[in-house]
Amino acid sequence: MEEEFEISESQSQQPSFDIKAFLFRIFSYWKLFLLFIIIGIFIVYQQNIRKQQSYRLSTQISVEEESNPLFTSNTSLTFNWGGVSGKVQTMMTSLRSRSVHEKVVNNLEYYITYLKQARFRKDDIYTGAPFRINLIPDTNQILNIPVRITFLKEGKYELFINFETTQHRTQNFSTYKKENLNIPVGEYRKVLTLGDTINSPYISGVVYIAEDRSVSENQEFFIQFNDFDAVVAKYRSKLNINNPRNSAILNLSMVDVNKAKIVDYLNETVKVLSDDQLNKKNQFVTNTIEFIDNQLNRVKTQLSENADSLNNYRQKNRIFNLDDKSLAINTKLTDLESSKEEINRKLAYYSSLKNYLETSNSFTEVPAPAVSGIDEGNILSNVSRINELSVQKSKYGSTVRKDATIFADLNRQIEGLKIVLLENISSVTNELKRERQLINNKIAVEDAKIRKLPEAQQKLFDIQRQYALSEKTYNVFLAKRGEADIIKSASVSDIFVIDPAKDTGATPIDLKLSSRYLFAIIGGLLPPLLLAFLLTYLDNKLHNPQVLEKLSSIPLLGVVGKNNLNNNLAVHLKPKSTIAEAFRSIRSSLQYFYKKHNLEGTKTVMVTSSVSGEGKTFCSINIATVFAMSGKKTILVGLDLRKPKIFGDFDIKNDIGVVNYLIGQKDIEGVKQSTKVPNLDVITSGPIPPNPSELLIGERMGDLIVELKKTYEYIVLDTPPIGLVADALELTEYADATIYVVRQDYTKKGMINLINTKYNKGEIQNLSFVYNGYDQKGKYGYGYGYGYGYGYGYGSYGNGYNDDDVKKTFMSHIKSFFKI
């Protein structure tokens, strides 16, 4: 025992993180873990029963270079050069454009949502609805409010709308214009017959049962009209476009809760894109057909008028046929006029081509030579080549920087071809003009021959010649019209559908509902774990005797259990309790210590602590009590002059005490008081003085101890906390042994370092710890077998005493359950 009280040269350091404390704290939080797991599972369950699963479906298309099989330099009405990679980029840009999605949403009428009430929400059932509504064109529909339709008997249904506010928006889905509408708060109901037109400021249309579908009485569905622009933006953002390895393949995919909607949207998107691409591809042919149709209508009118004039003249003048000489002249003149008309068409084309080359910066839309019957080889090849170079330049425009050398090279080639073309046009134009002059000369010769004929013959000749010319021109344009139709019908889209979108048993892409419970369990474990870690990491209090032994080399004299009484006289009131036994163990250890140090006569023990509230007074009272109960004359002296306490537990007054003795007002007999504990007297601290430290270090303090030793065998000094004031240090000279009280879950570890410093410096000698408030079942208990008394197991006394048994109430059980 003597070695236990030797001064240690080393000082224990506080551990940064106590793994064992962390683990035991986790185990003590099992109720909190269970609570959080239950909450997590409940939240996930509520989410699962409310959540609609999302699905991903896709379609795959290929962008190909589909040339027209009837496309030749002589028959084609437009050129069709360009690369596939450039088209892929164009298609991807088109797929992301707002205009394409507007067409798809409009074609599918996705601004109308068909809903059915489920347990927690209104589900979008799309084609699952057994009815449809045809909107009246150019009418407004209420936006974002579910319109309930309840089917009744005999083909009737009820329309119901609940207006909760007065301000609402409507939209015209023909013009897409939106308007504000003030509606009184309340319900709108109307019973109609299927097929009747709904005419109201909120909805206008005709409800009908879909083909091969039927409805039951009292079935309820909902229609909701959504902002067209918002719907377009929604699906535009959902469409995902993937171009693997910059190939000609495009993968289109979309995620939504309704698989049928995804299928229709993807397939309609491809259809709209294909139609738009084909229309652009055939744009020149379409324009040419329109031009030819206008010419045919004009020439047809002239032909009809000339035919009527010819018939009327013949009937009026009774001249039905020309003679052989006149017929020969007419035939020759008609051929000359046709040749002249063809030359004029070519000259008009060359003039247009020359103007296009001189004024345009892009040559991708050069007029097709075949429209005007151009067959000049140099012209055809050079127009083809300049168009090809222009398309190639346009393709590089989206992928290559404008200042790249390839653009300069292409521009040089195009400029060279343009110069050659202009020279060709000039040369061919001069030649055509010479041919036209020759034809004009021949026409003049034939006209001279006609003027020699009789006047009636001349008139018939002119009318018949005009008719023949109109007929030939009409036949030329009609042949061109047929050629254009053949070319247009033979054109195919450059978009080839590899795999159309289809629901082949798509599985949800969301986390499986059953798997979400695993995350709920993990999520329930994390908050208590984090709480336990933070509390353990930030915790700086003592929670078990072993931690105290690790922090300090000062010996542990005894371990005292938690006092559940409202009075500090635990040993006196319950002498058979485990707490009483713990103090008896402390008394034995003190007596052993006195014997080892050969202390004779009166023995003194000083009791102090770090701060107030650690049980210093409680231990002082009960240590004094166990000495008195052993038949020893004992006195308890209250030297905590700043905060006196001991008088209340003994039901005595604090009017007179140590202070009165120290200032010379009273003698020993005048300040000591008897207690209800046999052999135990008490000297309270008395009135609070203005100078407690000066009184405790004065000569009268030594006189007090000397006087008390004459009468008592044991003197117990209840001193102030050593961590707050220095009074206790001044009193160590009067103590044979010093007890430093620490309290479970209360004393801070830093205070142990403070007393270690003083102990190692020799400021306090013969110092021992008493661990107070030990709760073996507490949340921080390690269960190392510490009993209520150093060296005595708890089990040694637990079966023989019943004074500690306290009957728990219902509320105490509830508090115990939630105690963490």
Structure confidence by residue, pLDDT tens digits, 230-239: 999 999 999 9
Residue 320 has pLDDT above 60, yes or no: no
At 750 the pLDDT is: 85
Locate the DSSP E strands across 11-85: 55-63
At 74 the pLDDT is: 42
Candidates 789, 779, 812, 797; CA nearest to 25 is: 779
Q: Is the pTM of this model over 0.85?
A: no
As a whole number of angstroms, the distance between CA 288 and CA 295 comes to 10
Task: Assess whether 712 and 781 both reside in one domain.
Answer: yes
At 300 the pLDDT is: 74
Task: Assess whether 662 and 806 both reside in one domain.
Answer: yes
User: Phi and psi of 580, rounded to 5°?
Assistant: -60, -40
Residue at which a domain ends, from 226, 255, 281:
281
Comparing 454 with 573, the larger pLDDT belongs to 573
Please report whether residue 505 resides in a domain: no
Task: Assess whether 591 and 479 both reside in one domain.
Answer: no
Comparing 154 with 77, the larger pLDDT belongs to 154
The residues, any chain, with a CB within 8 Å of residue 101's CB and separated by 6 or more, are 232, 235, 236, 239, 269
At 459 the pLDDT is: 63
pLDDT in tens, 473-497: 777 777 777 766 776 665 667 788 8
Which of 258-267, 417-426, 642-651 is predicted most confidently?
258-267
Task: Assess whether 705 and 737 both reside in one domain.
Answer: yes
Task: Assess whether 563 and 432 both reside in one domain.
Answer: no
Which pLDDT band, with edges at 50, 70 and 90, does 380 fall under?
confident
Provide mean pLDDT across the span 440-458.
Answer: 67
The residues, any chain, with a CB within 8 Å of residue 433's CB and separated by 6 or more, are 347
Please report whether residue 784 resides in a domain: yes
Please report whether residue 108 resides in a domain: yes
pLDDT in tens, 576-608: 899 999 999 999 999 999 998 888 889 999 999
Are 722 and 610 spatial neighbours (Cβ–Cβ below 8 Å)?
yes
As a whole number of angstroms, the distance between CA 231 and CA 176 comes to 12
Provide mean pLDDT across the span 29-54.
Answer: 84
Task: Assess whether 274 and 191 both reside in one domain.
Answer: yes
Measured from the Cβ of residue 753, the count of other Cβ atoms closer than 10 Å reads 15
As a whole number of angstroms, the distance between CA 483 and CA 473 comes to 16
Please report whether residue 75 resides in a domain: no
In one-letter notation, the amino acid at residue 522 is I
Element (H, E) at 133: strand 131-135
Provide mean pLDDT across the span 798-813.
Answer: 45
Task: Assess whether 467 and 431 both reside in one domain.
Answer: yes
The sign of the CA dihedral 342, 346, 351, 352 is: positive
Please report whether residue 251 resides in a domain: yes
At 356 the pLDDT is: 75
Are 744 and 636 spatial neighbours (Cβ–Cβ below 8 Å)?
no
Which of 111-115, 243-247, 356-360, 531-535 is predicted most confidently?
111-115
Are 277 and 97 spatial neighbours (Cβ–Cβ below 8 Å)?
no
Query: Average model confidence (pLDDT) for the chain?
Result: 79
Residue 723 has pLDDT above 90, yes or no: no
As a whole number of angstroms, the distance between CA 763 and CA 730 comes to 10
Task: Assess whether 303 and 385 both reside in one domain.
Answer: yes
Residue 457 has pLDDT above 60, yes or no: no
Tally of domains within the chain: 4
Residue 394 has pLDDT above 70, yes or no: no
Task: Assess whether 521 and 552 both reside in one domain.
Answer: no
Say how many CA atoms lie within 13 Å of 790 toward its Cβ.
19
Alpha helix (H) residue ranges in 609-681: 616-629, 646-649, 658-662, 668-671
User: Phi and psi of 676, rounded to 5°?
Assistant: -75, -5
At 330 the pLDDT is: 67
Please report whether residue 506 resides in a domain: no
Task: Assess whether 116 and 202 both reside in one domain.
Answer: yes
Which pLDDT band, with edges at 50, 70 and 90, does 793 fall under?
very low
The residues, any chain, with a CB within 8 Å of residue 382's CB and separated by 6 or more, are 417, 420, 421, 424
Element (H, E) at 201: none
Pick from 217-226, 312-321, 429-438, 556-565: least confident: 312-321
Task: Assess whether 195 and 151 both reside in one domain.
Answer: yes
Residue 648 has pLDDT above 50, yes or no: yes
Comparing 170 with 396, the larger pLDDT belongs to 170
Which pLDDT band, with edges at 50, 70 and 90, does 65 fall under?
low
pLDDT in tens, 349-364: 788 778 877 777 665 5
At 177 the pLDDT is: 94
pLDDT in tens, 74-95: 443 433 333 445 678 878 888 9
Q: Which residue has the tokens 């797991």?
A: 37
CA dihedral 779, 784, 789, 792 (to 10 degrees): 140
CA dist 764 → 100, 309, 444, 617 (Å) = 91, 144, 146, 20
Domain limits at 151? Answer: 61-65+82-281
As a whole number of angstroms, the distance between CA 334 and CA 447 comes to 11
Provide mean pLDDT across the span 442-453.
Answer: 68
At 714 the pLDDT is: 95
- Whole-number percent of the chain with pLDDT over 90: 30
Task: Assess whether 521 and 582 both reside in one domain.
Answer: no
As a whole number of angstroms, the distance between CA 681 and CA 657 comes to 12
Residue 668 has pLDDT above 50, yes or no: yes
As a whole number of angstroms, the distance between CA 384 and CA 74 comes to 12
Dig out the tokens for 765 from the structure.
């000698």
As a whole number of angstroms, the distance between CA 614 and CA 740 comes to 10
Are 641 and 695 spatial neighbours (Cβ–Cβ below 8 Å)?
yes
Candidates 350, 292, 331, 284; CA nearest to 473 is: 292
Please report whether residue 386 resides in a domain: yes
At 587 the pLDDT is: 94
Please report whether residue 367 resides in a domain: yes
Residue at which a domain ends, from 281, 303, 324:
281
Provide mean pLDDT across the span 162-180.
Answer: 93
